[in-house]
Structure 1
Amino acid sequence: MVNSTERHQFILNKVQKEGFIQVVDLCKELKVSSVTIRKDLKLLEDKNLLFRTHGGASVNNPYTVDKPVNEKEKLQAGEKTRIGAAAAQFIQPDDSVIIASGTTVLALAKAIKPTQRLSVVTSALNVAMELLQHEHVEVIQLGGIIRKTSSSITGTYAQNMLADFSCSKLFLGVDGIDLEFGLTTTSVVEAHLNRQMIKASQKVIVLSDSTKFGRRGFGRICGLEEANQIITDKGIPNHYVNQLEGMGIEVTIV
């Protein structure tokens, strides 16, 4: 039986290698109880060596904070560009879609090159401005209160407008994807609007770079079962791919 020092080193090596570890797996590998593992994780978190999460631990802080949109654009810019280009391939001629807010869905807007009619409902001012340059795109801008950090519209006016639309797809940006807590954003009011977008769409396509996995924003949008597809980059942890596909969610890696 390994001693506590050896256990701690094993846990740290594993979380550094995999990014996320689960209590049940550590119990099996180290042949100790879940109580012991949870005590180990608390001690290591107290030393600022990892972050505890529901059912495990992560090398990254699972709680995301709000940042201005111009700051977010600079983060994982290459990954977002590739994700946006891949998402654009799912837009069909004469399609009617909803594009939510965020820098990854802005990358989608920049990648859209329509040659036939396309109708886009959006809450994001920067998405609307990007699409105005295309003569074949009809842009329906939701109205309401402008959330400055995301350059997007929120509030009951926007939610009520969505009741008048039925779209084939929703392209949704998120701040966090957690296996237990689901899809999240840093704003509760934006989460409420996103839920109305889901109701107005036949298919939900989540656009997220891999740094969002294992993280949680303040506002819960919905459970993972509401998502039909997730487009992300190759940095996504393997255990997330396995569990998401096991739930019937299509995972597209670019």
Structure 2
Amino acid sequence: MSHLERQDDILSILSKEKKISVEKLSKLLYVSEATIRRDLAHMDNLGLLRRTYGGAMMAKNTAHESAFAMREAENIGAKKAMCGLAIREVNDHDVIYMDSSSTILSMIPLLQRFKQITVITHGIRTALMLSHLENVEVYISGGKVGNFSNSILGSSAIEFYNHINADVTFLSCSGFNINGDITDNNIDHASLKRKMIENSKRVVLLVDNSKFGKTFMTSSFKLSDVDVLVTDKIPPQEFIDLITSLGCKLLYA
């Protein structure tokens, strides 16, 4: 198990336990307590959790829990299952776009199996995690940092994508409705996703079952823009019919 996978597991455990000791994490993950302490120190510096005497707890500030850290800790099992399928769309030496979603983070440890990969992203934590992989060259966009997010947004970030062409793009979303609309809550995120799609040969969308049938404020793109849709369980039949009618490849765990 890599340190990235182990840290994902720590977040998953904390999402259920809320607070846990170093000793218990060591037993659950079959590593030394010294290793767990190093992981917790690193994750505390990133704001993903709070170290406590002898352990850790979910990150909080005076106003609310860290929004991205909480999203990252949610549905870890489903995210890992989807990423395990999505990674099949990667080849050695590919140039990859990765969005800033918490879903896509679970794909990062899986990239270690490939020969030299180049990743372009506007995700801050995404880029940081990728920087620990020796076989990955990472580029991150410039621009405005979105509050309580993992994202660099705005016109500078969009312009950055104008200059690089990708073999494959990996995206997630907030909702996917029966009209084939892929929707989100943020206009800036939607604009970035459209630019990524425009400059990529293939598009892979990862969307868990809870997002089917939901529509949010902004239509980011259409299902017709997607080459492969990956989800965590068999979709409702009406969505299967829609996906297959558009020639989109469907993968589910």
TM-score over 0.5 (shorter chain) = yes
Aligned pair 1:79/2:86, yes or no? Answer: no
Write the distance in 2 (CA, Å) between the matches of 1:247 and 1:170: 18
Q: Structure 1 residues 135, 74: closer, same or farther in 2, change over 3 A?
A: closer
Residue matched to 1:250 = 249
Structure with greater Cα Rg: 1
Residue matched to 1:144 = 143
Unaligned runs of 5+ in 2: 1-65
Structure number with the bigger relative contact order (C-alpha 8 A, sep ≥ 6) is 1
Is the 1:114–1:137 contact (alpha carbons within 8 Å) kept by the matching residues of 2?
A: no
Output one character per residue of 1:37-71: Cα deviation in whole Å (capped at 9) or x when no partner: xxxxxxxxxxxxxxxxxxxxxxxxxxxxxx92122
Q: Structure 1 residues 229, 165: closer, same or farther in 2, change over 3 A?
A: same
> SS at the partner of 1:174?
coil
Write the distance in 2 (CA, Å) between the matches of 1:75 and 1:215: 18
Residue matched to 1:100 = 99
Which aligned pairs between 1:220-239 and structure 2 lie closer than 5 A?
220-239=219-238
TM-superposed CA distance for 1:235, in Å, is 4.9
TM-superposed CA distance for 1:75, in Å, is 2.4
Q: Structure 1 residues 69, 235: closer, same or farther in 2, change over 3 A?
A: farther
Is the 2:194–2:221 contact (alpha carbons within 8 Å) kept by the matching residues of 1?
A: yes
Write the distance in 2 (CA, Å) between the matches of 1:179 and 1:223: 11
TM-score normalised to structure 1 length: 0.71
Write the distance in 2 (CA, Å) between the matches of 1:211 and 1:147: 25
Which amino acid letter does the alignment assign opposite residue 93 of structure 1?
D
TM-superposed CA distance for 1:76, in Å, is 1.9
Which aligned pairs between 1:1-254 and structure 2 lie closer than 5 A?
68-180=67-179, 182-254=181-253
Q: What's the % identity of the aligned pairs?
A: 24
TM-superposed CA distance for 1:207, in Å, is 0.8
Residue matched to 2:48 = none
Output one character per residue of 1:147-184: Cα deviation in whole Å (capped at 9) or x when no partner: 13331111000111111111111001111111226111
Write the distance in 2 (CA, Å) between the matches of 1:207 and 1:150: 19
Unaligned runs of 5+ in 1: 1-66
Output one character per residue of 1:132-152: Cα deviation in whole Å (capped at 9) or x when no partner: 111111001011111133311
Which amino acid letter does the alignment assign opposite residue 73 of structure 1?
E
Write the distance in 2 (CA, Å) between the matches of 1:175 and 1:160: 24
Write the distance in 1 (CA, Å) between the matches of 2:153 and 2:194: 12
Write the distance in 2 (CA, Å) between the matches of 1:247 and 1:106: 28
TM-superposed CA distance for 1:131, in Å, is 1.0
Residue matched to 1:61 = none
> SS at the partner of 1:97?
strand
Write the distance in 1 (CA, Å) between the matches of 2:74 and 2:236: 19
Question: Aligned-pair RMSD on alpha carbons?
Answer: 1.5
Q: How many residues align?
A: 188
Q: Structure 1 residues 138, 158: closer, same or farther in 2, change over 3 A?
A: same
